[in-house]
Structure 1
Amino acid sequence: MNHKLLSFVLFLLSMVVFAQQKITVESIYRGAFRTQDMDELHSLKKSNQYTVLNFNQAAQSTQIDLYDFASLQKIATIIDSNNHKDMPAIDGYTFDSDEKKLLLACNSSPIYRHSFTADYYLYDISKKELTKLFDLQIQEPTFSPDGSKIAFAKENNLYVYDIASKTTTQITADGKKNAIINGICDWVYEEEFAFVRAFDWSSDSKKIAFIRFDESEVPEFSMTVFNQQLYPEVETFKYPKAGEKNSQVSLHIFDLVSKDSKMVDLSNYSDFYIARMKWTNDANVLSAQVLNRHQNNLDLLFIDGSSAAKKVVLNEKDKAYIDVTDNLTFLKDNSFIWTSEKDGFNHIYYYDKTGKLKNQVTKGNWEITKFYGFDEKTNTVFYQSTENGSINRGVYKTGLNGKNKVALSNELGTNEATFSPNFDYYIRAFSSVNQPTTYTLNEVKSAKELKVIENNAALANRLKEFNLPTKEFFVLKTEKGNELNAWIIKPKDFDSANKYPVFMTQYSGPGSQQVANQWNSVDDYWYMMLSQQGYIVVCADGRGTGFKGAEFKKVTQLQLGKYEVEDQIDAAKVIGNYPFVDKTRIGIFGWSYGGFMASNCILKGNDIFKIAIAVAPVINWRYYDSVYTERYMQTPQENPSGYDDNSPINFASKLKGKYLLIHGTADDNVHVQNSMEMMNALIKANKQFDSQIYPDCNHGIYGGMTRIQLFNKMTNFIQENL
């Protein structure tokens, strides 16, 4: 066989192999491209070690393994579920302060996004004794600082379990479903302030502070749960929509010695939120962050644990809103570290214990994205930021005085860190658009990489078989002059002489980011699958998205869906003018806030977009919860035009293209009511549309074959209409 013929045969063979390596929805959502990660990594405080929750596939067991930071060597298996026949698989775990006992969560049963009940086991590490704590599932069990007790919630009340005597003391007795909740957040706090446990131990283990929620006057929302039963059930829960009554919250301190409970007097506030509460390092000083309903005025309170007297230590105001974080960190003398956007970008500030500003630690036209901690030995602050561009993340350390800054990461992409207790070492997780997540052990002093823990090389090699397209980053400048971070995925056999259809994806919610230099999400493989089918996929982060400063993020205030929709339409116009794009074939997709956006875009941009897919969309902000919506819109009573001028319901008559509307009936977050009202508006306007309802599915629409069916349906819709 001559060389030319041999080359031709090899070429044909390679094309056959390549043709076989097409991405499918089934392979994506069955985990074919999943990275190897370090699950439930806990950095221990008493030793220079860390633990990881591992699943032993061969033995079908879960185990908590102990590793040394300096060597990365596995030292021991603390507990293996296979050695305890009566204990199910371990879902999660927490240590007591001495790291001699473990609380193990098993058989977790989700409630809402973050909350769950579980069976809990107490494990004494030195004695290797395992004890099931109760005969029923509980919430948020938490060790006291001295390790002698466990506080927990059950059926809306708080309890304390004494480990030595095995006795339980009930702290509250008025808890009642859909009326009173003690120590656990109501639905809207959990969803929008992102915490569940609303109680905390004082550092001397003598007091417990907790928030009480009186939700008796909060309007109820009911969902039908079909569950393949002859008679469906109705699930009813409290859900305050924009402008409606919220829970009345109060702050209480329970003294375990005297059994006395005091309520903190917050009568000078009206219609307020207790967005955070935690004890300071002073065992008799409790901190609380009180936020007004507009969420543009925040008081940091210090409260006397004995008298419950309070004082305002710090006040922050903003013309738009204040983001609540968990970055408040107390030093030994009760001075504290705080993050704020008050100079236009999110930065770190240092205050003394009276609330007097000592120093702005970080400065510049970039954002702090994570606060990792403070090393009191060296007076050093550790953080993650966007100093290398808003789509990247770097890890840094700097003095508390803001001097001697050192980069602890040098690769451009997304860098994260887990530090050892003594801040001598850190495990760096790095990924970029071209590099699957890599875990390495690094030394803090030199920032030197000591060892690779996991580099996902097997996944990287497997992906070579698919000859995937690359995600290219660029800055898209609209005709109005707005500069938007964007990425584009072109077919691997892209030919600039051809005209391609374009499928746009976005989320666009306040402070969000979809254009980031990090490894593929699961959905990225779907976009690449579409590119294999001849589509160009584009994503642009419009105004209102995050990490480019407060002005860019907060421009959408009082007008959610105005500037964001303008930017997506304007971006589509720019893309449509590319010589290789068929401007008559541009579609747009989004989920949740992104579904709200996709719906608006095909209506207000009906001469630009040919199709739109909206999954679980907010259709009118009047239907969404109070905390999120009013943060950006105030109430419907105060800002009716802001709600109505940007609601897809009011523009249904403008529909020209193909529109697919998707929702789950058990969505406790964005209620299916939104899609039903959108359908109603389209029917009244005599507009044809497509829809898909998923029985008993929540906001995530998953379980069994659900995701596969969903993404196949969307793929078919794109193929048939774009």
Structure 2
Amino acid sequence: MKHLSFSACYFVLFQLFFQTAFSQTTKQITLEDIFQKKTFTARTIQSLPSMKDGKSYVSTRYNRDGEKYLAKNSYSTGEEIGMLYKETDLIYNGDTLELSAEFSEDERKVLLSADEEPLYRYSVKANYYVFDIASKKITPVSTTGKQLYATFSPDASKIAFVRENNIFIKDLVSGDEKQITSDGKINHIINGRLDWVYEEEFAFERAFFWSPDSKKIAYYKLNETEVPQYSMTVFDKLYPTQYVYKYPKAGEKNSVVSVHFYNLTDNSTTTADIGKNPDQYIPRIKWTASSNTLCILRMNRHQNKLEYLLSDASTGRSKVILTEEDEQYIDIEKERLTFLDNGRQFINVSERDGFNHLYLYDLNGKIIKQLTKGDWEVTEVYGVDEKNGIIYYQSAEVSPLRRDVYSIKLNGTKKTRLSQREGTNDARFSDNFQFYILSHSAKNTPPYLTLNEKGGKLIKVLEDNNSLKKTIREFGYQNAEFFSFKTSGKLNLNGYMIKPANFDPRKKYPVLMYVYGGPGHQEVSDSWSSSARPLWFQMLAQRGYIIACVDNRGTGYRGAAFRQVTYLQLGKHETTDQTEAAEWLSQQSYVDPSRIGIWGWSYGGYLSSLCITKGADIFKMAIAVAPVTTWRFYDTIYTERYLRTPQENPEGYDQNSPINFADLLKGKFLLVHGTGDDNVHFQNSVMFSEALIQANKPFEQAYYPNKAHGITGGNASIHLYGKMTRFIEENL
């Protein structure tokens, strides 16, 4: 029988006393509350898109009988002014289709979907239907197989979609279905959609786009024939099956991408000139105000040179109008390209001065005006009111931890802050920019939604989440506290801390650190999160743990220099910063320095693995969920953006791979992975396990059969968090 030391016995007795006293006045958070009862779900208002008149918006509501319907609401009052359609209108062949606000441009039709089937992490194929609001008629888009990305033409006369890697057009007037590409073949040629790595890393799915006049379609074609295949075993039958797909790992061949124009008038196809180098990326294409001019963004494989091409849809001829270069890399996800209706100018964001800011260009790529400037970042662009010459955007000007909504004139004057509450603010504007719905939250404050006039006047509170505020009080939520500390390199890092209930600064508490820490990411922000993770942190705080989280170097919203310092050596500075954060915590009078643990998921699992090996002296335990354990196993676009290829930078790959430091493991370690992870392959944990075994290091591991990167479905989530809870309680 295992004997407890005096100090351990004291701690157990203290916990029992603490929990008994605490439970007399406060409800205890359980995993069932988090994952099954949804006790802490914040209320929001579904849909809320603006209608074209600029005077009304759409919301999803329920009538007295509990029936769901789509309502039309007045911006000027916030009141419901009509019902567009209800759930019982959407019965087709005995099945009720889901409500949708995916309107055609004329707002007379709505696109509905059913029988959805996920592909990769984001794409979904389904049976799509067109619902005519006036006649209540429902028409299937196609009856010969599920479709992807069904999309109305701007004139609402047609729908384009993808099936079996080819593009089709459905004429809504005649009912005819036309196939406009014919060379699509699984794992070889893709038309109108993306391969795995483009979808995952360039963050979009549909790869075809209607021209403004509905007479052309611009689309991607990807030839992935030479891309190496990855095979995952699916444990679902007597003899397991194999899921095989193309996945280019760092240094391997990518798909060869081309861009094409299909002309509906004469059924011709033209190829855009994107240069002769097949080893490049086309991370975006976008129509200008002209239906004959497409903007194509071209990026080299190193991702440090981005060119803007204007391509003639009739001839395919292209010209470069703008080139941006960076010594490290360009983050394409920051792109917010907006072509003005005047046909002469466009808005975009750029880090050319070290921070992400708004610029106004002419159509030759010349900068007319830098609209925003300062040591802070523009984080979103909501739109441009050309009539009044105003652009609306979100930024972190007040603090990298917070977000506010602003407007500024297109000449760079009259910058106005529209949001006033401290925290994180987001907005959805009416089509004419006369009204906006403002969403506010803070780290310790659930979402608060208001309807406002252009000048900022409050029209109506749409949702205050008072019931959730009452619930979190009943469950004794502990407010997160922001802090910062100075590293050995004299750099301030931001963090937050959740202290245990009935916190006593004279006592010593165990600390569980949470980390993600990947490039451009942010965990330490003044915003509410309804995800399971922060709820679980509250449960652990009730049980006597301090929760701490620090954003290391490489994370986002503090400028390019802060983010790009990890270039060519992912993991090095991040591990140093997390270790120094743990050391700083250990020096606090209320922290037990012998009981500091760390955990993370994905990139956070990678850093947790490094911390328990390379930084093992400070950490008593670690949990790594779905970790990358060597960047040699991860995809080209993400990995090479930060490390270049393994052939060019082998040290950058190997000097911070947990696999190569398994012999340094100290403390308790739990390694978790889903066997069906198509993103961070199970291979990462298998090979790390083998390295730990060969180093004769004790550790625990758990695998979740057929589960993807998020490890969800059935009881997977509650089981995983239960396992992690027990591991923490036993080892911290």
* C-alpha contact 1:46 1:98 (8 A) present in aligned 2: no
Q: Which residue, out of 273, 276, 283, partners 1:268?
A: 276
In 1, distance between residues paired with 2:121 and 2:96? 23
Aligned twin of 1:419? 429
Residue number in structure 1 paired with 2:7: none
Query: Are the equivalent residues in 1 in contact too, given 2:41–2:530 (CA < 8 A)?
Result: no
Pairwise CA distance, 1:269: 3.1
Partner-residue secondary structure (3-state), 2:364: coil
Identity %, equivalent residues: 49
Residue 385 (1) aligns with residue 398 (2): no
> Is 2:185 the counterpart of 1:176?
yes
Q: Can you list the C-alpha shifts for 1:373-397, whole angstroms capped at 9, x where unaligned?
A: 0001110010000111000000000
Q: What does 1:470-481 align with in structure 2 at a 5 Å threshold?
A: 470-481=479-490
Residue by residue over 1:560-605, the C-alpha shift from the partner in whole angstroms, topping out at 9 and shown as x without a partner, is: 1000010000110111111111111100000000000000001011
Contact 1:121–1:130 (8 Å) recurs in 2? yes
* Aligned pair partner of 1:282 in 287, 290, 293: 290
Code of the aligned partner of 1:454 = E
Matched AA of 1:475: S
Q: Which residue of 1 aligns with 2:468?
A: 459
Checking the alignment, whether the CA contact within 8 Å between 2:359 and 2:369 is kept in structure 1 is: yes
Tell me, yes or no, if structure 1 residue 484 matches structure 2 residue 490: no
Shift of 1:128: 2.3
In the TM superposition, 1:652-667 aligns within 5 A as 652-667=662-677
Q: What's the counterpart of residue 314 of structure 1?
A: 322
Q: 1:565 aligns with which of 570, 575, 581?
A: 575
| Residues 1:224 and 2:233 aligned together | yes
Match of 1:8 in 2: none
Q: 1:54 to 1:560 in 2, by over 3 A?
A: farther
* Counterpart among 640, 643, 663 of residue 650 in structure 2: 640
CA displacement, residues 416-459 of structure 1 (integer Å, 9 cap, x when unaligned): 000011111100000012321010011112x1222100010001
Find the counterpart in structure 2 of residue 372 from structure 1. Answer: 382
Query: 2:253: which partner in 1?
Result: 245
TM-score by length of 1: 0.96
User: Structure 1 residue 20: deviation in Å?
Assistant: 5.6
CA-CA distance at 1:100 after TM superposition: 1.4
The unaligned stretches of length 5 or more in structure 1 are 1-11
For structure 2, list consecutive stretches of 5 or more residues without a partner in the other structure.
Answer: 1-17
Q: CA deviation at 1:530?
A: 0.9
Whether the 8 Å contact between 1:155 and 1:177 is mirrored in structure 2 is: yes
Deviations 1:683-707 (A, max 9, x none): 1101110011000100000112111
How much has 1:248 moved relative to structure 2?
Answer: 0.5
C-alpha distance in 1, partners of 2:652/2:275?
Answer: 32
How far residue 28 of structure 1 moved from its aligned partner, in angstroms, is 1.1
2:11 alignment counterpart: none
Q: How does 1:347-358 map to 2 (within 5 A)?
A: 347-358=357-368
Q: Is the Cα–Cα contact under 8 Å of residues 18 and 467 in structure 1 kept in the other structure?
A: no
CA distance 1:572–1:440, shift in 2 (3 Å): same
The amino acid across from 2:603 in the alignment is: Y
2:138 to 109, 130, 136: 130
Code of the residue aligned with 1:41 in structure 2: it is L
1:295 to 284, 292, 303: 303
With over 3 angstroms needed to count, the CA separation of the structure-2 counterparts of 1:67 and 1:504, relative to structure 1, is same
Which residue number corresponds to residue 157 of structure 2? 148
**Cα deviation per residue 1:181-212 (whole Å; 9 max; x = unaligned)?**
00101110110001111111111111111010
Write out per-residue CA displacement over residues 9-58 of structure 1, whole angstroms, 9 at most, x where no aligned residue.
Answer: xxx9x958645601111211221101011223322224422223457796
- Distance across 1 between alignment mates of 2:163 and 2:53: 31
Classify the secondary structure of the residue corresponding to 1:94. coil
SS where residue 628 of structure 1 aligns? helix
Q: Paired residue for 1:699, among 702, 709, 715? A: 709
Residue identity matched to 1:708: I
Residue 118 of structure 1: CA displacement? 1.2
Query: Which residue in 2 is equivalent to 1:437?
Result: 447
Q: 1:298 to 1:512 in 2, by over 3 A?
A: same
State the alpha-carbon separation in 2 of the partners of residues 77 and 660 from structure 1: 53
Matched, 1:32 2:39: yes
Task: Write the letter of the residue equivalent to 1:279.
Answer: W
Give deviations 1:458-512, integer Å, cap 9, x for gaps.
0101111112211000112123312111001111211111111110001000000
Q: TM-score, normalised by structure 2?
A: 0.94
Question: What is the aligned partner in structure 1 of residue 660 from structure 2?
Answer: 650
2-structure distance, mates of 1:58, 1:486: 47
> Could you tell me which residue of structure 2 aligns to residue 112 of structure 1?
120
Task: Rate the CA distance shift 1:317–1:261 in 2: closer, same or farther, 3 A.
Answer: same
Output the amino acid matched with 2:422.
Answer: L
| 1:213 paired residue number | 222
Q: Does 1:527 align with 2:534?
A: no
CA distance in 1, matches of 2:271, 2:633: 34
Structure 2: distance between partners of 1:161 and 1:432: 46
Question: Offset of 1:89 from its aligned partner?
Answer: 3.5
- 1:184–1:57 CA distance, 2 compared to 1 (3 A): farther
Residues 294 and 313, structure 2, Cα contact 8 Å, conserved in 1: yes
Distance (Å, rounded) in 1 between the aligned partners of 2:59 and 2:296: 32
Q: Secondary structure at the match of 1:603?
A: coil
**C-alpha contact 1:46 1:99 (8 A) present in aligned 2:** no
Task: Tell me, in whole angstroms, the C-alpha distance in 2 between the residues paired with 1:58 and 1:107.
Answer: 26
Deviation at 1:91, TM superposition (A): 6.3
Question: What secondary structure does 1:95 align onto?
Answer: coil
8 A contact 2:100–2:110 mirrored in 1: no
Q: Give the equivalent residue in structure 2 for 1:254.
A: 262
Compute the RMSD of aligned alpha carbons. 1.6
For 1:45, the equivalent position in structure 2 comes to 52
List per-residue Cα deviations over 1:239-277 (Å, max 9, x = no partner): 000000000001111111111111112233341111001
